[in-house]
Amino acid sequence: MNNLLKMFVFAVLLTATAVAQDQMSGITWNIGLPSGRMATYVDKASYGGFGFNAQKFIEDNTSVGIDLSWNYWSELTGDIITMDHGAISGTQIRYYNVFPMFLNAHYYLSDKGDEFKPYFGLNVGTYYVLQRLDVGVYTLDNDNWHFGLAPEAGFLYEVSNRTYLSATARYNYAFDSGKTLGGKESNTLVYWGINVGIYWATGWF
Amino acid sequence: MNYSSKKSLRRLALMPVVVLVAGLVVVGCYEDYGLTTKDFDAYTTVYMPGTNFQSYKYFLMPDTIMHIVGSGLTDPLAGARKYDRQILDLTASNLQARGYTRLSDTSEIASRSIDPNAVLAVLIGQFANEHSGYYYDYWYGYWGGYYPGWGYGGYYPPSYVYTYDYTVGTNVTEIVEYGKSNSQHRAAPVWVGIVSGLTGEPATAQNRIATGVNRIYEQSPYLYAGQ
């Protein structure tokens, strides 16, 4: 909760500086699709996520910016968890709270006047990951900071003066860091993100 | 600055509010799965690495369950004694279904010239842990807990302090090597199965115990005699 509040405060401060020419910012609804090892822990899509993004154009077709977001997974399961020398089972609630914090750059494949503006980009930064398992009356949890990359492709579509709908597909890759909940060696986290939202622009478009 | 730019700036200035509201909505979306007492049951199994469970063919099991209680204290699981027969029978039937033959007592080892190293001893014990404490729901207290007319008194404890008190009963089944334990004069465990759950719901206890005892064997597919 404290992390979330810090993020909001940061978003407020950021927006205060974003009110200028050649800048745009927006909010997104973030869907997360776990992949790889992460999908063995939570295998369903997450529809509980949101993000904040601000961009500043440094050239006609290139922007740099910041992206703060949150993806949340919660899953009820009765699966058996196999350990090195045994197993544990029972009703479980498995959680992931993932907070990506990125600097990014986008390249736009359109002209200034186009309504439809496809782009691709790269996000670089950190993922703060909270993993938790409730089983029986017991709770196991841990938290780790990961360095991460998230290439993405998407588009903006102008729906009214300086207001855009956005959609982007993002491949999130959080590099190995710390320990998993089960103490296994690799703690790489991979998931796909589909983010849809609305952006407001000043100046450039 | 023209009208259009002012409008855009106002929209931008509103953005943190939108983000904040969206965030709060999401924070409130932690699923309530409506868990019941049985959902707090947990089943844990551990085996000694390198154990060849197929090298054992027999098992011994005392016809009682030991309750582990601190000296001078009342047994919180005394009321659960009525389930002992069920637990012992289910334990024996699970091991027999996996090919192990039950011996009536240790004298049968000598009378039938059975190798003690082919015998397992099954020991079952129970204990309870009481958990109590409190927590303070500061989030509710801060965002939603102010009642007009109450002044700041509405924030003071114990307005948002909640207490909890529950007891967890645990049934531990320990399987030890009979021959090795005898020769080294201490238990040589090869497998432990633990069933734990909340006490205080007699209506479901019998089914939950049966489920738990069966589950610890189901999740131990390596535990069989190979006959």
Domains and CATH numbers, chain A: 26-202 (2.40.160.20)
Q: Are residues B78 and B91 in the same domain?
A: yes
The pLDDT assigned to A204 comes to 54
Pairwise CA distance, residues A186 & A114, whole Å: 45
Res B212 pLDDT > 90: yes
Which residues are paired to A143 by β-bridges? A130
Q: Which of A123, A105, A11 is nearest to A63 (CA)?
A: A105
Pairwise CA distance, residues B94 & B210, whole Å: 11
Chain mean pLDDT for chain A: 86
Domain contains B133: yes
Total number of domains in chain B: 2
Q: Which of B76, B68, B52, B61 is nearest to B165 (CA)?
A: B76
Q: Which of A124, A118, A127 is nearest to A146 (CA)?
A: A127
Q: Are strands B161-177 and B101-102 parallel, antiparallel or unpaired?
A: unpaired
Identify the domain containing residue B189 by its residue range: 32-218
C-beta of residue A204 within 8 angstroms of C-beta of residue A156:
no
Domain contains B226: no
Res B159 pLDDT > 60: no
The pLDDT assigned to A18 comes to 44
Interface touch B196/A137, C-beta < 8 Å: yes
Q: Which of B145, B137, B27, B13 is nearest to A5 (CA)?
A: B27
Contacts of B164 in chain A (CB under 8 A): none
Q: Are residues B162 and B86 in the same domain?
A: yes
Domain contains B224: no
Helix (H, G, I), strand (E, B) or coil at A160: strand
Q: Are residues B9 and B91 in the same domain?
A: no
Q: Write the single-letter amino acid at A146.
A: H
The pLDDT assigned to B201 comes to 85
Q: Is residue B146 very low, low, confident or very high in pLDDT (cuts 50, 70, 90)?
A: very low
Contacts of A7 in chain B (CB under 8 A): 23
Interface touch A12/B4, C-beta < 8 Å: no
Interface touch A7/B23, C-beta < 8 Å: yes
Pairwise CA distance, residues A6 & A9, whole Å: 5
Please write the tens of the pLDDT for every residue from B166-194. Answer: 888 999 999 999 998 888 888 889 999 99
Q: Residue B49 is nearest to which of A72, A85, A201, comparing CB atoms? A: A85
Q: Are residues B22 and B36 in the same domain?
A: no
Calculate mean pLDDT across residues B100-115: 93
Q: Are residues B202 and B139 in the same domain?
A: yes
Q: Residue B47 is nearest to which of A26, A86, A90, comparing CB atoms? A: A86
Instruction: Average the pLDDT over each of A4-18, B61-75, B162-176, B210-224 and give the range with the smallest value.
Output: A4-18
Calculate mean pLDDT across residues B154-174: 72
Res A192 pLDDT > 80: yes
Q: Residue B139 is nearest to which of A1, A25, A87, comparing CB atoms? A: A1
The pLDDT assigned to B124 comes to 94
Q: Are residues B103 and B192 in the same domain?
A: yes
Pairwise CA distance, residues B6 & B120, whole Å: 83
| CATH classification at residue B174 | 3.30.160.670
H/E segment holding residue A26: strand A23-35
Q: Are residues B6 and B84 in the same domain?
A: no
Q: Residue B29 is nearest to which of A27, A48, A163, comparing CB atoms? A: A48
ipTM for the assembly: 0.75
Res B150 pLDDT > 50: no
Q: Are residues B127 and B143 in the same domain?
A: yes
Distance in Å, alpha carbon of B4 to nearest chain A alpha carbon: 9
Q: Are residues B89 and B18 in the same domain?
A: no
Return the axis-axis angle of helices B3-27 and A2-18, rounded to nearest 10°: 170
C-beta of residue A191 within 8 angstroms of C-beta of residue A9:
no
